[in-house]
Amino acid sequence: MPFGAVLAQVGGLGRFQVLQTVLLSVPILLMASHNLLQNFTAAVPPHRCRVPSATPAATRSPGATPSLPSATPGPPGATIRSPGGTLRSSNGTLRSSNAIPSSGPRPTEPCHDGWDYDLSIYVATIVNEWDLVCSYRQLRQMAQSIYMAGVLVGALLLGGLSDKFGRKAMLMWSYLQLGVMGTCTAFAPNYASYCVFRFAGGMALSGFGLMVEWIPTPYRAITVAITGFAYTLGQILLAGLAYAVPHWRWLQLTVSVPFFVFLLYSWWLAESARWLVLSGKAERAVKVLQRVARLNKKKEEGEKITVEVLWSNMKEELVGTSPHLQTSDRPVSLLLSRFSISFSYYGLAMDLQNFGVSIYLIQVIFGAVDFPAKVVVTVSLSYIGRRVSLMVALFFAGLVIIANIFVPTELQTVRTALAVIGKGCLSASFNCVFLYTTELYPTPIRQTGLGFGSTMARVGGIVAPLVKMMDEYYPFLPPAVYGVAPVVAAVAAGFLPETLNAPLPDTIEEHHGALGEDGG
């Protein structure tokens, strides 16, 4: 591969690649926090209809713990008047201890005087601050869908902009936008502005795509695994941060401010030399390559690289660059896989309160399972291949999610274990499909290809909370849909070409050839 030879000349996998990989992996820790933040910032505290004689200040202030009876779920969208005269609101609310069971339906009425919340676990969330309970409870899921819609819009915009203006420029913009919008979210005065700021912050999460183009072919799977482990550590870190910072506004601020630091050091990062050459900026590419050579202690070899050398080595890539082909090749199987993984992943990961154990503990467990899953899939990717690894991971993910439908609700340990296994398989699938995406699209449209894949993933993330809303009426339906989607994607993945040990395609023609040989 012509550019691969140039990359080897400046050090291959050297000090520069290691340092840049580390610097690009650190922000991924907090990317995970932003994606899963509403597990904690939108957690639902135990609550009940406020008794008119109750003192709001004593029951609503942060840190206060009102003396409330045990939590009891009720029918959706209503409050129920118990025989004892005390109101209890629906959907995980509290009832009076002197309530007498009744076999018939009870009259319902709204909570005219608001709600009282037990804030012993969750000091402050958007749920108790803006009363997102009872008839407003679906606004909680809607906020997450709006955030994922922002990520979708960002995927559509930033992928193309990265191919036009460069990977580094869009990366820096993403850091800035996420820092600013995340901080604004922490100071949102109401639910509407909260959703607007979360949407804008979500848009910035699709601008991270600089790492793989500096990595030699034999080390790409390992590099993708490192980014996956960073995301996993971010999930575990989120549990610790949420426990240490229980107020939702301070937690939001805690995971947003560091992006200003990432913005400052991102000036040091190197733009993709591939992109520079293919964009007609060979002089800048030479300077970047020579800088990389110096950092890798290959200064003499780097000085031999000139514009003429790059033009000579990469003439095929330059001839193969054709703008009108940028939207012609989007493997349906790959896009379906991205949708299914994200759809099922967020269906599981955003429902931690329903597992019956500490939300902090289950967040750690859900994060920790990714380590063995990603170790296994990294080995599989390197020795068995991309296609089989993706198919097996997707199939088992769907299988265990569907199996959970038939486990009795009282067997919480078994249900939790199956969900954890399914989540681990989905995380392994993501590693496979991300690597696949970078290997199937040629350099001129690689970032656009990543954008298309991210678009489908975000559509899955948007739909997942909406499907979850149906469990109040059809409890079996959400897990059934979450399970079937990966199984269908596993079948479709069988039509993808195998890319194990294949060089990154640098031209549209190479991309067509890879698809033609394997029928993908």
Which string of DSSP letters, residue by residue, matches 39-104? Answer: HHHT----EEEPPTTS-HHHHHSTT-------EE---TT-EEE-TTS-EEETTTEE--TTPPP-SS
Residue bearing tokens 């991270």: 208
pLDDT band, residue 262 (cuts 50/70/90):
very high
Lowest mean pLDDT among 31-40, 437-446, 457-466: 437-446
Lowest mean pLDDT among 44-58, 102-116, 501-515: 501-515
Structural tokens at position 461:
């993330």
CATH number at 2-42+138-518: 1.20.1250.20
Handedness of CA 281, 286, 291, 292 (dihedral sign): positive
pLDDT band, residue 448 (cuts 50/70/90):
low
- Least Cα distance to 194 among 235, 243, 140 occurs for 140
Determine the pLDDT at residue 140: 84
The ranges of the chain annotated as CATH 1.20.1250.20 are 2-42+138-518
Over residues 452-481, mean pLDDT: 79
Is pLDDT at 9 greater than 80 in this prediction? Answer: no
Which whole-number Å values give the CA distances from 277 to 202, 217, 272, 296, in the listed order?
A: 31, 19, 9, 21
Walk across the sheet containing 47-49 and list its strands: 71-72, 93-94, 47-49, 115-117
pLDDT band, residue 499 (cuts 50/70/90):
confident
Determine the pLDDT at residue 86: 38
Give per-residue pLDDT as tens, 197-236.
999 998 887 655 566 777 777 777 677 778 778 888 988 9
Average pLDDT of the residues of the chain = 76
- Taking 3-state DSSP, the helix, strand and coil percentages for the chain, each rounded to the nearest 5, stand at 70, 5, 30
Is pLDDT at 258 greater than 90 in this prediction? Answer: yes
Long-range contacts of 51-54 (CB under 8 A, 24+ apart): 51/86, 51/87, 51/113, 51/116, 52/113, 54/116
Determine the pLDDT at residue 100: 36
Query: Is the full-model pTM beyond 0.75?
Result: no
What pairs with residue 117 in β-bridges? 47
Highest mean pLDDT among 91-95, 227-231, 437-441: 227-231
Highest mean pLDDT among 45-54, 57-66, 191-200, 501-510: 191-200
Give per-residue pLDDT as tens, 113-135.
778 887 777 888 898 889 888 77
